Structure 1
C-alpha cells in the first residue's frame, strides 16, 4: 500500500468506530471513558484553542490518521505492515499507557477508574483490529 490517502481513510474509519464503541459504552454503562477521546486540556497552548468541541474532534481524528500512517511505515521494513496483530498490540498497549494522562486533567474519567481503563483499552483493541484488517484488505 503506497497511497497515504488510503491510510488516512483507514485511520478516519477506525477512529469513527472507536468513537462509536466508546459512545455505546457510555450509553450502556454510564462510564465516561468516551470523554477522554476528545480531551486535550493537558497540552499547553492547545488547551486554550476554541471552539473546544472542534479542536477535540480534530485532535482525535488527527491522532487516528497520523498513527495509522506512521505505524504502517514503521512496520514496513519488517514485512509486518499487513499483519493485524502488530496494530492491535501497539494501539492497545499504547492506549493502556496513555490512559495515565487522565491524571493531568480535571475532566473524567478519573485516573483511578479501573472500568474506564478497561473500556478504553478494549476499544483500542477494536481500533487496532480495524486498522490492521483494512490495511490487509485494501493493501
Structure 2
C-alpha cells in the first residue's frame, strides 16, 4: 500500500492526542489550572454545545481532531520534503502556534481559564509543544 504514511499520521495523532490529554489532565489535577477542561471544551461550537457529553465522548472528539490535524501536518511535512530534526522543530513550532490561536476561546466559557491567566497559558503551550514533539518524533523519517 503506497499510502502507509497516512497510517503513520493516524497513529501519531492517536498517541499524541492521548499524551496531550494526559499531560493537561495531570496539570489540572495537580495545579487546579483548567487546561484539560479547555482541551475538552465545546462551549463555543454551535449545536454541539447544546448537549452535555460524557467525558469519554469529549475525549473521542479530541482524538478525532488530533488525528485529522496529524494527517494534515504529516502531508505538509511530506510535501515540503522535511526529514529528521527539521520535522520535529517545525511541528513543535506549528503546534505551539495552534495553541496560541486556540487560547482566545477561553473567553467564551466560564469553565476555562481566563484569557489573562499566564500560568495556564504556559501549561497550555507546553502541552501543545509536547504534542508537536511527539508528532515530529513519530514522523521524523516517514516515507511512502
- Using structure 1 for the length normalisation, give the TM-score: 0.89
Q: 2:35 aligns with which of 33, 36, 54?
A: 33
Other structure's SS at 2:37 match: helix
**Equivalent residues in 2 for 1:112-131, closer than 5 Å:** 112-131=116-135
Tell me how far apart the structure 2 counterparts of residues 5 and 73 of structure 1 sit (CA, whole Å): 12
Query: After alignment, is 100-109 or 46-55 more displaced?
Result: 46-55
Tell me how far apart the structure 1 counterparts of residues 40 and 113 of structure 2 sit (CA, whole Å): 12
The two structures, once aligned, show a CA RMSD in angstroms of 1.9
Deviation at 1:81, TM superposition (A): 5.9
**Could you tell me which residue of structure 1 aligns to residue 3 of structure 2?**
2
Query: After alignment, is 52-61 or 31-40 more displaced?
Result: 52-61
**Could you tell me which residue of structure 2 aligns to residue 92 of structure 1?**
96
- Using structure 2 for the length normalisation, give the TM-score: 0.86
Asked whether the equivalents of residues 35 and 108 of structure 1 are also in contact (C-alpha less than 8 Å), the reply is yes
Deviation at 1:55, TM superposition (A): 3.8
Query: After alignment, is 70-79 or 54-63 more displaced?
Result: 54-63
Tell me how far apart the structure 1 counterparts of residues 134 and 113 of structure 2 sit (CA, whole Å): 25
Query: After alignment, is 20-29 or 31-40 more displaced?
Result: 20-29
Structure 2 unaligned spans of 5+ = none
Deviation at 1:51, TM superposition (A): 2.6
Other structure's SS at 1:122 match: helix
Is 2:134 aligned against 1:133?
A: no
Tell me: CA distance 1:129–1:106, structure 2 relative to 1, closer, same or farther (3 Å): same
